[in-house]
Chain A
Amino acid sequence: MPESASVLEMRGVDKSFGPIDVLHEISLKVNEGEVLCLLGDNGAGKSTLIKTLSGVHQPTRGEMLMDGKPVNFVRPKDAQDMGIATVHQFGGTYPLMSIGRNFFAGAEPTRGWGPFKVFDRRKANAIAVEQVRKFGITGIDDGDRLVGGLSGGERQSLAIARAVYFGARVLILDEPTAALGVKQAAHVLRIVNEAKRRGLAVVFITHQVMHAMAVGDHFTVLIRGAIAADFRKGEKTREEIADLMAGGESMADLEADIEGYMETHEGHPPPPVH
């Protein structure tokens, strides 16, 4: 749907903290049913960008638009109310609470009357399990299980299912696969694809090129707070993307350099150069 307005768009956004400029001239957009991968090494400004998208920070310059209309998020709540959900690595889950209680934290279903309104555990558990299973997590069948006993991938899936259930239109996933093993990461990537299939706009932040390429439609590489490259699926190879993220240096050359040094220095890597 290239003709319709993007769900979420940034136009020329700068962000500074006092004299320090963190983001320069960031323009990006994400459409319904599309995954935008935000790639960047540590310190590239990914976190600041996420926080600006989710209303934690306000842009210093530039504007943000939803469905083509300018928006101004003063608090994270404003972004949430517009349907922007941010899921952090373990975000939004409480390890020592049950799946049902986790799923509905802050929006508990109740039954009963007046001051005797009771948390409807059965209903909460049933909905939570159903929603998580809809995302293909078939291992979960008991809403009373504590979330801390789930795998990292299952916890991510729970957080994503929760966001979708509560009406998210834009899903911002902050390094969802960073702490996960290969199998668990594949699990989360499947969930990202499922969210995309359901028509959500997904912003997927990662520094793992393989993961990005598995789900991304559109890629933006961030280096030192500016967009270094912007391309669509199939336009670049994995090596090219990795090179871009490393700041233009060819990873292959770099690896060759290090190996050459180690061979001549009894296996020690080269000292850091500043």
Chain B
Amino acid sequence: MISNLLRRPAAASVLSLTGVLAFYVIIGGVDLGKLMSAASWLNYAARIGIVALPVGLLMISGEIDISIGAMIPAGAMTTAIVSGHYELPMIFGILGALGVGVIVGTINGVLAVRTNVPTLIITLATLVGMQGVVLAGSKLLTGSASVPLTAPDWAKSIFGQLVFGGSHQVVIVWWIIFAVTFWFVLHQSRYGNWIFAMGGDKESARNAGIPVNRMTVLLFVLTATSASFVGMCHAILFNSAQVSGGMNDIFNIIASVVVGGVLLSGGFGSVPGIFVGALTFAIVNKGIDFTAIDRNWSNLIIGVMLLAAGAMNESFRRVALGVATGKRSKPKQDAPARAIGGQEAH
């Protein structure tokens, strides 16, 4: 029973979450009820969680996308420039933001499929490139790096306005919808099997008739578009958009995916894990305000948590490879080790 739970890729993230909460309650003196009713960490979890979902799928397929850091401000700025500065109907701002995501995602994906350049480098290039495009474009079109926007009520209630009467944002609802959708795709549909296979061994996946290239492009489109979606929601919520580097977002999102149990080299991970990973990351980052601990320590906690989660992921994966259901207890010490080694040699 226990080993069955530990086999799940989400195990480490659930334990991380429990550990962080326990630490905050015992050491930090957090009032759990107060923390649970607060919106700040949940809003933040949703903001990084929406992007972490497709990034996690992409990482399971064996690739990575760091251009998401530029795509969040790109989505926000596109929305504000189109519907704020040029005063076009809101729908054009929304479509514009999503369109920018699709375009940049397609560029990333096509480059990843057509060249032998590692996707870390490709998306580093598009990250820096898009930062330039957004800043220069904003200056050129509006003469400023900060653009105001007045969103109509319908847009506010779909993408921005606070629900539950408090300070919770609609992105939380979107996050849950996306999480369910991605869960279905990864764990229930055949496409999920393709994604795992691509991350396990790309060449074998191709030989098995899986449309590896098409799937890769599609996943890159999803990461970039989800990032521009988050940016758009932000612009609508706060009635303005600023040019920013988005560097923090990159590391926060990738860190939450790793805490969520996704293997950096691909082939392993889960949507529940990624979901809990984002939640955990947000609680560490924002929950520290509810503790007696100086918030400047939060980065240290994140560092420790990352290492702990990484180590847990590694050992749980061994458990998953070796023990399986526990029906067969034939010792196989070298087989899993060899399998993992071979896996990471790719």
Contact = CB atoms under 8 A, between A and B. Distances in A.
Nearest to B338: A152
A104 B208 CA distance: 9
Contacts of A150: 335
A149 B336 contact: yes
A246 interface: no
Interface stretch (B69-77, B125-133, B276-284, B320-328): B320-328
B201 interface: yes
A53 B182 CA distance: 40
B208 A107 contact: yes
Nearest to B207: A76
A105 B324 contact: no
A96 B343 contact: yes
A108 B263 contact: no
Contacts of A217: none
Nearest to B188: A118
Contact of A105 (B208, B268, B320): B208
A78 interface: no
Contact of A152 (B190, B321, B335, B340): B335
A149 B339 contact: yes
A105 B197 contact: yes
A41 to B, nearest CB: 24
Q: Is the interface of A mostly helix, strand, loop or mixed?
A: loop
Interface string A132-145: 00000001011011
B189 A97 contact: no
Nearest to A117: B189
Contact of B201 (A94, A108, A141, A149): A94
Given A80-B207, A145-B325, A97 B332 contact: no
Given A108-B190, A141-B327, A146-B321, A96 B204 contact: no
A88 to B, nearest CB: 8
A167 interface: no
Interface residues of A, number: 35
B47 interface: no
Interface in A64-118: 76-77, 80, 86, 90-97, 101, 104-108, 110, 116-118
Contacts of B320: 96, 146, 149
A148 B324 contact: no
B41 interface: no
A102 to B, nearest CB: 8
Interface residues of B, number: 38
A105 B321 CA distance: 19
Interface in B181-219: 184, 188-190, 192-194, 196-197, 200-201, 204-205, 207-210
A147 B339 CA distance: 9
Contact of A95 (B190, B327, B340): B340
B143 interface: no
Contacts of A145: 324-325
Contact of A108 (B193, B205, B322): B193
A144 B325 contact: yes
Contacts of B323: 149
Contacts of A118: 188-189
B165 interface: no
Contacts of B263: 96
B197 A151 contact: no
With a 10 A CB-CB cut-off, give which of B196, B207, B210 has the most chain A CB atoms.
Answer: B207
A263 B58 CA distance: 59
B321 A148 contact: yes
A231 interface: no
B197 A149 contact: no
Interface string A211-233: 00000000000000000000000
A119 interface: yes
A183 to B, nearest CB: 13
Contacts of B196: 94, 96-97, 101
Given A101-B193, A110-B190, A119-B190, A96 B327 contact: no
A131 to B, nearest CB: 16
A103 B50 CA distance: 32
B260 to A, nearest CB: 15
A106 B327 contact: no
Nearest to B7: A146
Given A92-B204, A105-B197, A145-B324, 14 more contacts: A76-B207, A94-B197, A94-B204, A96-B343, A97-B267, A104-B193, A106-B205, A107-B209, A119-B189, A142-B327, A146-B324, A148-B336, A148-B340, A149-B336
Closest 10 CB pairs of A and B: A94-B200, A148-B339, A106-B208, A108-B190, A95-B339, A145-B324, A149-B321, A105-B197, A96-B268, A148-B321
25 contacts: A92-B204, A93-B204, A94-B196, A96-B267, A101-B197, A105-B197, A105-B208, A106-B194, A106-B205, A106-B209, A108-B193, A118-B188, A119-B188, A142-B327, A144-B324, A144-B325, A145-B324, A149-B323, A149-B324, A149-B335, A149-B336, A151-B332, A151-B335, A152-B335, A152-B338
